[in-house]
Structures are given as C-alpha cells and as structure tokens.
Amino acid sequence: MLLGVNVDHVATVREARRDIEPDPLKAAELAINGGADGITVHLREDRRHIQDRDLIGIRKRVKTVELNLEMAATDEMVGIALKVRPDMVTLVPEKRAELTTEGGLDLKKSGKKIKKAIDAIQGKGMPVSLFINPSITDVEISKKLGAKMVEIHTGLYSNAKGKRQIEELKRVKKAVKRAHEIGLLVNAGHGLNYTNVKKIAAIKAIRGLYIGHSIVARTVYDGMENAVREMKKLIEEGAK
C-alpha cells in the first residue's frame, strides 16, 4: 500500500510569516528519504498554503515518486494541471471558509463540471481521482463520469469513536469493495493518524493512503529537541 505525503501544512507554517522557510519542497525531499511513495500538494484557489511556485518547484524535483495535485475542478486549476503535468490529479470540493476539505465531492450537483475536468486532464494522459464520501452511489457515479481512481474520504471514520467508528469503518470498507469490483483504483485519506491508520491499512483493495496533517504534526515533535539544542549551542558560542 502506497503512502502519499501531503506537505501543505509545511507551507501553512511558512505563510504564517510570508517567509521562505519551512520550504515544502525540502519537506517533500525529506519525506521521500523517509520512504514516501508520493507527494501531494493542494493548490487552493485562495493560495493559503501552497503557492504556484511551490508546485512548479516540486514538479521539477519530484521525479522518482508520484506527484499528486489536489485541486478544485475549475478552469483555472485545469489549466495549471495541464501545464505542470503532475502524475495524477485529485479533484476535491473547495469552500473558501473551510479549514480543510470537509466532505467528498457532490457528484450529483457538480457532475457536469467534474466530467469536463476529468476529460480534459485524462485526455492528456494524467489519471484523475475523485475525492468522495464512502458511499456506493458516489463510487458508481465516479465510474460513470470516467474517472480512473477514487479516494474514499476517511474523515468521519477518523473523527468517530467507539461503536460509531466501527460503523464508519464498515462504510469505508463497503465503498472500497464496490470501487474495486467495478474496476476503479481506490485510495483513501483524510484525518488518518498514528492511532487510526492500521484499520484502514488492513483493507487490502486500497492502493494508497494520502496523509498530511498528522505527519507534519509529528515532524514538529520529533524535530523540536534537536532544533532547540542547536540554537542553544549557537547562543552559548556567541555569548562566550
């Protein structure tokens, strides 16, 4: 099972200061050193984290693993995808006020727009994945729209506890099974972390998991001691 690492929130920290660091490209290279099978960036319409230059830089340097561009199905984003040529595109719903992608695509309401984006992108040889809720209907509509892949939203599973989480896990499993049966490549992601990932990883038909926030959060904890130690050393040297 592949692991695609989403480096958006490295850019979130950088954009908090409009600085040049931390650089999501450097984070992507370190993620690849750590075994990432893919790198994901979400170029949002409001550019709140990843910038166009990040995407271009990452495309130039990320050649050995799959680059997945997450984006809304708009003409602007389709144009960027065709120019930058990621290895795959994941279409997601996007609302300006949301903190993160809140739910899967509304395939009934936006089917036409999504189909147009799929045709334009897949027509140029890049597979498209649709980020959808764990629903059999949405899996079947995704197939009809012609997407090669789907990514099943694991957010409700990730946020639920106890019995509710078992029910959400069942929904994810059913959606994965149906997607696999009808010949879609099937991924999963959102909200996965170090405590909830194993049950999703146990679903054999899943091709890859797409994880961001929990990995970036863990990176802060794992790096803090060394970062402080190094700064202390410099201060002590300077103060001598």
Where do contacts with ligand PXP occur on this chain (CB under 6 A)? 6, 8, 42, 70, 90, 92, 100-101, 131, 151, 189-192, 210-214
Q: Does 153 participate in catalysis according to the annotation? A: no
Closer to ligand PXP by Cβ: residue 92 or 141: 92
Q: Are 9 and 214 in contact (CB under 8 A)?
A: no
Distance CA 12, CA 22 (A): 9
Q: How far is the CB of 211 from ligand PXP (least distance, A)?
A: 4
CA distance 11 to 60: 18
Q: Are the CB atoms for 72 and 85 separated by under 8 Å?
A: no
CB of 104 to ligand PXP, least distance (A): 9
Residue spans of alpha helices (H) in the chain: 8-15, 24-33, 52-61, 75-84, 107-122, 136-145, 155-159, 162-181, 197-201, 213-239
Nearer to ligand PXP, 84 or 209 (CB): 209
Report the alpha-carbon distance of residue 158 to residue 8 in Å, rounded: 19
Which residue, 36 or 192, is less far from ligand PXP as judged by CB?
192
Q: Decide whether 104 or 141 has the Cβ nearer to ligand PXP.
A: 104
State in angstroms the smallest separation of the CB of 7 from ligand PXP.
10
Q: Give yes or no: 42 in active site.
A: yes
Catalytic choice (70, 94, 151, 168): 70
Of 161 and 240, which CB lies nearer to ligand PXP in the complex structure?
161
Smallest gap from Cβ 127 to ligand PXP, in A, equals 15
Q: How far apart are CA 194 and CA 186, in angstroms?
A: 21
d(CA 86, CA 66): 8
CB of 151 to ligand PXP, least distance (A): 5
Q: Are 200 and 157 in contact (CB under 8 A)?
A: yes
The amino acid present at 79, given as its one-letter code, is G
| Active-site residue, 49 included | no
Residue 160: which H helix or E strand, with range? none
Marked catalytic residue, from 42, 49, 153, 180 = 42
Q: How many CA atoms lie within 13 A of 232 on its CB side?
A: 6
The catalytic residue positions are: 42, 70, 190
